[in-house]
Structure 1
Amino acid sequence: MPTVAPVEIDGFVVRAGFLKDCAYFASGEGEILLSGQGETRLRPHKAGLLAAVPSIDGSALVTSGDDGCIYQFGSDGTPVLVAERARKWIDLIATGPSGAVAFASGRTAWVHLADGREKEFALERAVGGLAFAPKGMRLAVSRYDGATMWWAGTDGDPVELSWKGAHLGISFSPDGKYLVTAMQENALHGWRLSDAQDMRMTGYPAKVKSFSWSAKGKYLATSGANAAILWPFSGKTGPMGQTPLQLGTRNETLVSAVACHPEEDVVAVGYQDGMIMMIRFADKAEVQLRRPGKGPISTMDWDKEGKRLAFGTEEAEAGLISLQD
């Protein structure tokens, strides 16, 4: 049976996950808890914490706040100031290859490279989301009426992808063939990058706020419905013409967070009532990992071995779930 070890945290849990073997929990109140051999509690930001993202190799955590600062630190808890934009709220960050960090405020996005160089990208409308391609220094920025892609290391012209509406969260598929955005309306939109073919994914009763690619990139798991909706991306046309998997259906409770297992075709599904289920793709077999709690699951992530799951809620609950062999 799975075991749950509660963790004390002081607010809405923005992000939970692992830096190698060390679990971390970052709250909107500005507290960052590192839980490894012991516990370390940090408050690098002068006020609240707005975003937290692990580095590509999982060795460091990058955070931003309403103090305009972007910090990076490893499991030893030593914060390093990456960049600063005085009097700006930095609520969007993304990590890329070779230590690159992208961040945004308003209608401007920046990429900070490991050697200290920075590149600025100006948009006509506010930035909705940031994502690096799985290979190379290509940055995608979601915005109103579509997305824009730049090569951060060169001065080439951007690639514009258009679709009416406000585009927020954004993600490349693991093979780099597709780009997907979560929209302000209850839908996803995607593009096949080889020919900019549009892909429309609708039918959600609520906004999609969480998505996660399966281990081999064959499925994109999403929140926003009373089940985890997994869109198939294994064919040449992505999810178009295919029926998504629906896992963990509950009649009146919406899914608030999803996290695909790093190795197996399994997904952790968190609900608005705080319950967490683990569900297998092939036969929809379910295992309850956590009973309902005080508030919606806001974040989840697996360790590299897929044996521990870190989670947090909107109501200052957090913990580590360990699976038994």
Structure 2
Amino acid sequence: MPTIAPLDLAGHCVDARFIRDVPFFALADGTVHRLDNGHKTSEVHDGLLCAVLSADGKSLLTGGEDGRVCSTGLDGEATELSKLPRKWITALAAAPGGAIAFGSGRSAWVRSADGTLREFSHERSAEGLAFAPKGLRLAVARYNGVTLHWPATNSAPTELEWKGAHVSVIFSPDNRFLVTSMQENALHGWRLEDSRHMRMTGYPNKVKSWSWSVKGKWLATSGAPAAIVWPFAGKDGPMGKAPLELGTRGDSVVTAVACHPIEEIVAIGYSDGMILVARFTDQKEVLLRRPGKGAVSAMNWDASGHRLVFGSDAGDCGVVDITA
């Protein structure tokens, strides 16, 4: 039976993940908490809006309402990487090699490993950011599509158009597909070799969480009473194929998903705080956590896949050990 080490915090958990096997929790109030021989807290931002893992896995990158982009490592010290006065940092992405991207308003900035800063302006708000797997391209989700930049060159950007508001973006691990989540309760995708469109619709709610399976064959998503898992193994991606529906519940909506780093299973978090895992092959389910105080807002596995860290929108956080 899985065991849970709870951590009761005050406020919305924006991100929960392991930094070198240490659980980190980033809260909207600007604090970063870690469980490292006890509960430790760092005051990082005056209001925290987004957080991602650094490419080397050694620190948590965060952006805030104070216009700062910071890196917090195992020592709890927050290092300021960039500051944009009077701006809110609303999106972040990290690339192999140490480059990071962050967005505010209509601009996205890329900070290279040597500290050089480059701004990319757009006609509409830069909503979501993602680096391609090798870090050479940056995707910026915007109204009516995605703009692809080559930050290290002066090449003209590539525009991928689809009407509607695109709010976040992700590359497939093999760099064959690009997927966005939309304001219109849908996903949209492009096959990058020929810009062919892929429509993934039917969600009753907005997709706010997604996760690629270990080899990139599946994309698990929130936004429905089940985890909707799209197949991406074939050359056409999910086109013409029905998704898996895992962990279906009639009284709760999936709010967070996290694919296991080794096995083809996915952790599914719900609006009532329940967490279970489901296997892709036979859809078998195992309960990890009973309902709690708030909707699960963030989940991530450790590198071994033995522990799952989670946070909720009510500060109801913790770590599940599935080996116990």
In structure 1, the residue matched to 2:33 is 33
- Once the 2 structures are TM-superposed, how far is the Cα of residue 21 of structure 1 from its aligned partner? 1.3
In structure 2, the residue matched to 1:91 is 90
Q: Distance in 2 between matches of 1:103 and 1:251?
A: 38
Determine if the alignment matches structure 1 residue 19 to structure 2 residue 6.
no
Structure 2 SS opposite 1:149: strand
Contact 2:30 2:48 in 1 (8 A): yes
Q: Distance in 1 between matches of 2:146 and 2:75?
A: 37
Q: How does 1:70-219 map to 2 (within 5 A)?
A: 70-219=69-218
Structure 1 SS opposite 2:163: strand
Structure 1 SS opposite 2:250: coil
Structure 1 SS opposite 2:202: coil
CA RMSD of aligned residues (A): 0.9
Contact 1:10 1:31 in 2 (8 A): no
- Once the 2 structures are TM-superposed, how far is the Cα of residue 260 of structure 1 from its aligned partner? 0.2
- Once the 2 structures are TM-superposed, how far is the Cα of residue 294 of structure 1 from its aligned partner? 1.2
Q: How does 1:254-269 map to 2 (within 5 A)?
A: 254-269=253-268
Shifted more, 164-173 versus 1-10: the winner is 1-10
Contact 1:9 1:31 in 2 (8 A): no
Deviations 1:203-240 (A, max 9, x none): 11111110000000000000011100000000010000
Contact 2:53 2:60 in 1 (8 A): yes
Structure 2 SS opposite 1:121: strand
Q: Distance in 1 between matches of 2:304 and 2:159?
A: 38
In structure 1, the residue matched to 2:308 is 309
Q: Distance in 2 between matches of 1:323 and 1:26?
A: 23
Contact 2:184 2:206 in 1 (8 A): yes
Matched letter for residue 17 of structure 1: R
TM-score, scaled relative to structure 2: 0.98
Contact 2:264 2:280 in 1 (8 A): yes
Deviations 1:16-42 (A, max 9, x none): 000011110010011111112333210
Deviations 1:243-282 (A, max 9, x none): 1110000012110000000010000000000000011111
Q: How does 1:277-288 map to 2 (within 5 A)?
A: 277-288=276-287
Name the % identity. 55
Q: Distance in 1 between matches of 2:135 and 2:183?
A: 29
Q: Distance in 1 between matches of 2:283 and 2:56?
A: 31
Deviations 1:177-201 (A, max 9, x none): 1000000001000000000000000
Q: Distance in 2 between matches of 1:301 and 1:18?
A: 7
Q: Distance in 1 between matches of 2:184 and 2:33?
A: 34
TM-score, scaled relative to structure 1: 0.98
Q: Which ranges in structure 2 are unaligned for 5 or more consecutive residues?
A: none
- Once the 2 structures are TM-superposed, how far is the Cα of residue 99 of structure 1 from its aligned partner? 1.1
Q: Distance in 1 between matches of 2:311 and 2:250?
A: 23
Matched letter for residue 68 of structure 2: C
Matched letter for residue 21 of structure 2: D
- Once the 2 structures are TM-superposed, how far is the Cα of residue 101 of structure 1 from its aligned partner? 1.0
Structure 1 SS opposite 2:5: strand
In the comparison of the two structures, how many residue pairs are matched? Answer: 324
Contact 1:308 1:322 in 2 (8 A): yes
